[in-house]
Amino acid sequence: MSTATSSLDAVIGGDEVRRDAQKAKALAAQAEKAMAEGNTEAAVDFYRHAVEADSSDVALLFQAAFRFDLAGEENLALETYKKAYAQGPAPINLLLNLAVMHEDAGDYAMAERLLKQILDTDPNHARAKLYMKDVLASKGEKIEDDLEKDKFKRNALLDTPVTDFELSVRARTCLKKMNIRTLGDLVRATEAELLSYKNFGENSLAEIRQMLAAKGLRLGQGRDEAHRVARKQMIDQFKGTNQEAILGKGVSELNLSVRARRALQLLSIQTLGDLISHTEAELLGVKNFGATSLTELRNKLAEYGLSLRKIDA
């Protein structure tokens, strides 16, 4: 392509840009006239065409978005504000209006980001500070509301009777005899505890696993959460004492009998901190773990001044 041809294309392209800009301004003038006459619908239509003609004029986009918002066209206003913002750098009024719209839409993170752009350059901007305070308050309320809703949904799920689910007669009968009535009761049980019950075998276990997985749950989940709470309490209790380091000691150092070691492996107990977060009842629920193994563990823990958890958290 020759230099002359390139120059001609540039001239033609430039003329087209200028024509689009002129057309957009003429349409914007028509829109303002319609707005003054009280014809909001026509004003919105004129501004829509003006934006289509020239989407690079930030001042035009801002004015159009402002008018769209006044006319109740929130989605169109937000879309147009975003187009203006994308041209960058955005004027303060654009950032403020866009932040308010994002807050109204529940997008608090974006609203905070936009306001921060203003406050980074002008920390004392009164309106930005006021809006930021509102956004942070709304953001905190939203998080709190979401957590409360999640907690409510989770509790409602855990309160669901196991009889509401399609289980085999054997699995259903075993759960009833074990006094497991709800999903909450079930997730507090471990696989080892279920398998230790008479007539409860691998097929029933697989059935239970599948049913819980469909609900985003698993066996031992409730107990794991209780153990995490218990471990944290114990760490806080022993913090700054000689026993603090002992909690991280591996149970392999206790030189336990084979039967006791296997029981701890089934419960995924690796440290003394893990061990003392369990109760005697939990250990006795493991198949082949009896009174002799329990006495052995008590004595070993006593050597370190520790004991099993007394009350199930």
- Is residue 220 predicted with pLDDT exceeding 80? no
Cβ within 8 Å of residue 188, ≥6 positions away = 220, 222, 223, 226
Mean pLDDT of 173-190: 83
Cα 279 vs. chain centroid, distance in angstroms?
32
Task: Estimate the crossing angle of helix 3-36 against helix 58-70, to 10 degrees.
Answer: 30
**CB-based contact 46:28 (threshold 8 Å):** yes
Q: Where are the CATH 1.10.150.20 domain residues in the chain?
A: 162-213, 221-302
Residue with the two structure tokens 């980001």 = 113
Cα 87 vs. chain centroid, distance in angstroms?
32
| Closest by Cα among 305, 294, 241 to 272 | 305
Query: Tens digits of per-residue pLDDT, 103-114?
Result: 888 888 888 889
| Closest by Cα among 220, 168, 230 to 193 | 220
Query: Tens digits of per-residue pLDDT, 40-83?
Result: 899 899 999 999 998 888 888 988 988 888 888 888 988 998 99
pLDDT (0 to 100) of residue 272: 83
**CB-based contact 61:83 (threshold 8 Å):** yes
pLDDT (0 to 100) of residue 6: 46
**CB-based contact 308:280 (threshold 8 Å):** yes
DSSP state of 97: H
Band of pLDDT at residue 4, cut at 50, 70 and 90: very low
pLDDT (0 to 100) of residue 183: 85
Please report the sign of the dihedral spanned by the C-alpha atoms of residue 122, residue 123, residue 126, residue 131: positive
Per CATH, the architecture of 162-213 is what?
Orthogonal Bundle (1.10)
To 5 degrees, how large is the angle CA 222–CA 223–CA 228? 100
The C-alpha atoms of residue 174 and residue 63 are separated, in whole angstroms, by 71
Q: Where are the CATH 1.25.40.10 domain residues in the chain?
A: 9-140
Task: Estimate the crossing angle of helix 58-70 against helix 40-53, to 10 degrees.
Answer: 150
Please report the sign of the dihedral spanned by the C-alpha atoms of residue 246, residue 248, residue 250, residue 251: positive
Mean pLDDT of 154-172: 83
Under CATH, what is the fold of the domain 9-140? 1.25.40
* Residue 259, token pair as written in the block: 């039967």
| CATH number belonging to domain 221-302 | 1.10.150.20
The C-alpha atoms of residue 132 and residue 137 are separated, in whole angstroms, by 8
When the pLDDT of each residue in the chain is averaged and rounded to a whole number, the result is 80
DSSP state of 246: G
**CB-based contact 119:131 (threshold 8 Å):** no
- Give the residue, 222 or 72, on which the prediction is more confident: 72
**Cβ neighbours around 278 below 10 Å, total:** 21
pLDDT (0 to 100) of residue 45: 92
- Give the residue, 263 or 13, on which the prediction is more confident: 263
Band of pLDDT at residue 7, cut at 50, 70 and 90: very low
Report percent pLDDT > 90 for the chain: 6
Cβ within 8 Å of residue 107, ≥6 positions away = none
pLDDT (0 to 100) of residue 46: 92
Mean pLDDT of 148-154: 65
| Closest by Cα among 130, 106, 105 to 119 | 130
**CB-based contact 199:168 (threshold 8 Å):** no
